[in-house]
Amino acid sequence: MKLLLFVFFVFILSEGHAAILDSKQMSYWHKLLHFRPNLLGKMVSEVDSKDFFVSKDGKKSPERELEKFIELLNSDKAQSYVCKFPLRYKWLKQTIMNDWSFTTESCTIYNSFVNKLEARNLSLVFSSFYINNPGSTFGHTFLRVSRYKDFRQNELLDYAINFAAQSSKDNVVLYMMKGLAGYYPGKFAVVPYYYKIREYNDHEFRDIWDYDLGLSQKQINRVVDHIWEMGEVYFDYFYFTENCSYHILGLLNVAYDKVDILSGLSPIYVLPIDTVKEMKKLSLIKDRKVRVSAYGKLLKETEGYTTDKLNLVKEIANNPSLAKDISEKYEVKEGADLLDASISALDYLKAEKVLLNDKKTTEEREELLVLRAENPHISEELKFDSTKMNAPDDAHDSSRLGIFAGDRYEQGAFTGLEWRAAQHDLLDPHPGHLKNSQVVMFDIRFRYQTIEFDSRKFILDRFRMIDLKKYQASDFWNSSVSFDLAIGFDQRKDCQSKDCLDPILTFGAGSSVAFIDDYVLSFLLGGSYAYDQVYDNNSLLSLGPKLNFLILKDDFSLGFDAGYFLPNEFSETWLRRRITYDLETRYFLKRNTGLFFKTNNIDQDVGNEHEAQVGVYFYH
């Protein structure tokens, strides 16, 4: 009988506590449990670990989770749950004004974790785009936990809070397919911040942008407690939605009482750069700084060097014993500058071995460091003006809507509409993005066109599932391979019905050269592979040379493409050769609005195609 009365009392008490949470308080409880509306509008927790919930219905019912948690706090198991969920307990005790007397003082492991982080500042970090890695094609975000209130102070002893898919070494296509399906589990991890510097800054040569959020100590403590609560918790990782950047904001969301920083994100896709811009839109970014990559630092240190001097630096980096007589051949300052540049060159040229702590490379680096220490000159710190660099929060919006009209030779006028989900093409405004590179996903274009100056038809003109381009110019230090790769569907231009949509793959690889920063010329060998029953063996492979020329200014861009392609099979009734030459110019009225003019031309044995169009782009 006493047991029944106790259960009844706990039930009534729990119901009462759940009922007295108003809508704002319940919204914060949702944050603690990572509840979000699904596609049907029903609230469901995005956490997929059963251990995160104390109620068997906790994933689907925040009310049941609240009731069960309160019930446990009124049981003899209370202290263990206080240690496991410190933020839940602290917030709930303060919110419902309960007189629970439990504290976290006896939570040994938890206190060790908190003391290790010694958090005095939290900043949001954006690691710039890295097109060579499918997981970082769109960039990456994580949190930096600093032991200093001023986020500009020494960061090497700080910690990073990262969220990532726990994936195997799958190839690009498999990684993306599994990521789209939520195949990988995603987890939070706390690692020394210098690990991230070595990985992104020194190995992958990516700039790291650090955004101070200006959080109070109370807000910082909340986030630290929530990091602890996440522990071994996992989420199903979705490449475009529930990804690293989304869950980093979900973690950070507990710092804010009055704002839901996830509510403004797209339900279809979440890009790292969009999360940074969302924080800026909400006025939650107080300051920013940039840590320039090892490659950027090397360029700065060797700026103005003659070819002979550059060769000397490279030789020393590859064979440090050549540096022994520098002090005899050069003045103190010049010798110090050469040694500084040689150390940076070694870090760049042997980045993989430096990252893996290769014994020989470590010894070579120490040899140069000893010689530099013997030089009495104190070098000035390299200075980079972040206001003149391409900060990601200054970039154009990732999605793009286009409206256009034009005329096709001997076919008549057309109008059309196009939409791109993400993220940036070669001729888009380049501030905030990797210049001379393109990452496009889900680009679709429709046309309403005249056929033979008679009937009109609405057709799907083109679709690109993925369209990548990297035309980075080679320089003394960098012999980067330029490439392009696109997968999608195209209309076959000679099709008499004007609606023959073929699967197509285009590709190319070569080299690029820059005349000056804004003018880049690329030469590639490549082609296309198309599938259609009209071809012999139902497919056609065309190969040949391609040329691309770019002019990229802040408010203007121009791109010219030309190619000469020969098919793998010749036919009297079919294509023997194809010459293409396209020109496009854009003028940007402002960051998210631009006008464009383009011409597309194909010369081929079975008939030529020429068209011109004008239109406007709206980035959103």
Beta strand 539-552 with 556-567: parallel, antiparallel or unpaired? antiparallel
Please give the biggest Cα pair distance in the chain.
97
Distance CA 225, CA 470 (A): 42
CA-only gyration radius of the chain, Å: 29
For the chain, what is the mean pLDDT?
88
Tokens of 70: 């309160």
Tens digit of each residue's pLDDT (9 = 90 or more) over 285-308: 999 999 999 999 999 999 999 999
Tokens of 112: 């060790």
Q: What's residue 268's pLDDT? A: 86
Distance CA 78, CA 55 (A): 15
Confidence of residue 336 (pLDDT cuts 50, 70, 90): very high
Beta strand 208-212 with 121-127: parallel, antiparallel or unpaired? antiparallel
User: Which of 141-145, 292-296, 409-413 has the highest average model confidence (pLDDT)?
Assistant: 141-145
Residues whose CB falls within 8 Å of the CB of residue 606, separated by 6 or more in sequence, listed in order: 494, 573, 574, 575
Q: What's residue 215's pLDDT? A: 97
CA 545 to chain centre: 32
SS3 378: coil
Distance CA 186, CA 163 (A): 7
Tens digit of each residue's pLDDT (9 = 90 or more) over 233-277: 999 988 888 999 999 999 999 999 999 999 999 888 899 999 999
At position 269, the amino acid (one-letter code) is Y
Pick the CATH number of 395-619 from 2.170.140.10, 2.40.160.40, 3.40.50.261, 3.40.630.10: 2.40.160.40
Q: What is the mean pLDDT of residues 68-95?
A: 94
Q: What's residue 12's pLDDT? A: 41
Confidence of residue 1 (pLDDT cuts 50, 70, 90): very low
